[in-house]
Structure 1
Amino acid sequence: MYGPEPDTKHPMKGFPQVCFIKNTVKSQNILIGDYTYYDDPEDSEGFEKNVLYHFPFIGDKLIIGKFCSIGRRAKFIMNGANHKMSGLSTYPFYIFGGGWESVTPQSSELPYKGDTIIGNDVWIGYDVVIMPGVHIGNGAIIASRSVVTRDVDAYSIVGGNPAEMIKSRYSEQDILRLEQLAWWDWPIKKITKNLPIIASGTVKQLCECC
């Protein structure tokens, strides 16, 4: 056996709290890698409701890599949440019509932060909020109830509001090695064979098994 089937919704038999969400998301602008799961005892298949202000006409994407762990109520704020900030008021008068549409801003007048990109093997804790356009590197850990307003380096641990660096999980040299190895892209047979090292070993051991 080489692990659970990535194309199943609930990989843990009799435990629907955990869902491989690439199999439930419908939006073409949300891209999720194999084995990434969302843990929610109330609605694990409803991950997409946590991607907020994600309007198709804006075109921004939420991209999440493989083997990510996403805690309950983690939220992803997308670019549709942004209001024009160059006027005296930030109130979106134009969306209500009735003549107010005359002040509809041009797309260039609305803040746009680009795609939100989450790397591979990222652990996003309970009730985290990730703001538009943030990039989170591979192997990062986001502490529960953090608000992530800027990019997060690979293999770093961040927490707080706004989230700040707590520490790096490995040395710069080891992080470079891990990024080059990219174990998450290995064939699943190779991953399964080397699970003892991936789960509990050292960077040196992982390098030696290649």
Structure 2
Amino acid sequence: MIYKITFEPGSLSEETAVRDDNERYKEYSIAYVGMGTYCWSMNIDNGIEGEADQKGRISSNLLIGAFNSIAYNLRIILGRNHNMKRVELGALGLMLDQIGMGAKDENSHFRQKSTVIIQNDCWIGENVTIMAGVTVHNGAVIAQNSHVVCDVPPYAVVGGNPARIIGYRFEPEIIERLQKIQWWSWGLNRIMENANYFNEDVAGFCDRFFPEAEEKCKEMQVMKEEKDTYFMFVDYYENYCSYPYILESFLDTYIVNAQKKLVLFIQDDTKEPMISDNIFENIQKTVNDISAMENIKCEVILERGSKEKAKEIFYKCRHYIVSRTYYAVEFSCLADMCGIEVIPGCDDNIPFVKKNNIYKS
């Protein structure tokens, strides 16, 4: 299914969940888009006609941060991969599915990539295509008519088919400082209070705001958990939530590994209604049942609270599993700063073993 969305400049004053009003997929979150981002036109192709699987899950996950400048005809491809390791490439498979002789999902280890993350303050030119599995990092520029198949580093300028690094906007020291300042996360009031500084040269801007940012970064450098710990937000407010699938996949992968730990975090201070007592109790019961099973050696815990509490726990973890939630882009940026691995939690066959997917200079 292809969704078409547009945001005019100045139309988004806060992070927004773009939801489908189609009766077939009522309230499905097409994308989360950050404050200040504009997009003249975007086509989101979310794979296999957006079919929800038999557990009520839609795998596609498009996350866009704040203050991005997106020109006409951006195309996002989610979940359209074909398994090139099979005997046939797909057309025969569709025919076999129609007569009940298609491949069984439980026998497939093919990873269907279904996540795209565009962080903050990026500029994307006309007629760009971004493939599933890509993260466009802060401050990046993508030239028009580019086909992006790998992660774009912070403040890189890329172009071509496939897109390659043309250069970087600034020297490495400036990029490192801007990554720590993260002005896009300040909130609109603070940005407006400091609007004059955005008109300075970039070195002057960094001199003004980097010392404070560096002090805050020191707070992130905490001791990691003794166990190899994974963090994720519970997307309880999503009609097609991903957390049950992520939990199941984690248990399938690490059931006998006592050194693995998963933190499920329920955030109380989002725009969505607070989680109901019934849903919370059901999740807590699931976690308690897991803890009581002697054959499950890995650990699963449930935490709840504000975004600030989430950060305190997050900094102690080594992995961040991205679900379909508010603040996902913000936490992906924090993960970059803290050396925390980012894992797309909406993919089929979640890649708990990370493979490198970034352009090289």
Q: Is TM (by shorter chain) over 0.5?
A: yes
Equivalent positions of 1:14-29 (< 5 A) are 20=12, 22=16, 24-26=18-20, 27-28=28-29
Equivalent positions of 1:30-49 (< 5 A) are 30-40=31-41, 47=42
Give CA deviations for 1:5-37 in whole Å, capped at 9, x if unaligned: xxxx6556xxxxxx6494754342521111111
Q: Flag structure 2 segments of 5+ consecutive residues without an equivalent.
A: 1-6, 21-27, 213-361
Residue 123 of structure 2: aligned partner: 123
Aligned-residue offset at 1:105: 4.7
Equivalent positions of 1:17-96 (< 5 A) are 20=12, 22=16, 24-26=18-20, 27-28=28-29, 30-40=31-41, 47=42, 50-54=43-47, 55=50, 56-57=52-53, 58-79=58-79, 81-96=80-95
Structure 1 residues 198 and 161 mapped into 2: Cα distance closer, same or farther (>3 Å)? same
Q: Flag structure 1 segments of 5+ consecutive residues without an equivalent.
A: 1-8, 13-18, 41-46
Residue 15 of structure 1: aligned partner: none
Structure 1 residues 170 and 163 mapped into 2: Cα distance closer, same or farther (>3 Å)? same
Equivalent positions of 1:126-205 (< 5 A) are 126-205=126-205
Aligned-residue offset at 1:72: 0.8
Residue 103 of structure 1: aligned partner: 102
Give the secondary-structure state (helix, strand or coil) at the position aligned to 2:101: helix
Counterpart contact for 1:39–1:70, Cα < 8 Å: yes
Return the structure number with greater relative CO, CA threshold 8 A, min gap 6.
Answer: 2
Give CA deviations for 1:57-105 in whole Å, capped at 9, x if unaligned: 45131111011111111001112x1122222320233434442x31235
Per the normalisation by structure 1, the TM-score is: 0.77
Give CA deviations for 1:130-161 in whole Å, capped at 9, x if unaligned: 01100111000000010001010000100000
Per the normalisation by structure 2, the TM-score is: 0.47
Instruction: Output the CA distance in 2 between the equivalents of 1:59 and 1:117.
Output: 14
Counterpart contact for 2:40–2:70, Cα < 8 Å: yes
Instruction: Output the CA distance in 2 between the equivalents of 1:197 and 1:75.
Output: 34
Sequence identity, in percent?
30
Aligned-residue offset at 1:201: 2.7
Counterpart contact for 1:83–1:92, Cα < 8 Å: no
Instruction: Output the CA distance in 2 between the equivalents of 1:130 and 1:176.
Output: 25
Structure 1 residues 34 and 10 mapped into 2: Cα distance closer, same or farther (>3 Å)? same
Give the secondary-structure state (helix, strand or coil) at the position aligned to 1:205: helix
Structure 1 residues 169 and 179 mapped into 2: Cα distance closer, same or farther (>3 Å)? same
Instruction: Output the CA distance in 1 between the equivalents of 2:159 and 2:170.
Output: 17
Instruction: Output the CA distance in 2 between the equivalents of 1:76 and 1:199.
Output: 32
Structure 1 residues 163 and 11 mapped into 2: Cα distance closer, same or farther (>3 Å)? closer
Give the secondary-structure state (helix, strand or coil) at the position aligned to 1:116: strand
Give CA deviations for 1:178-202 in whole Å, capped at 9, x if unaligned: 0110000112122113233325532
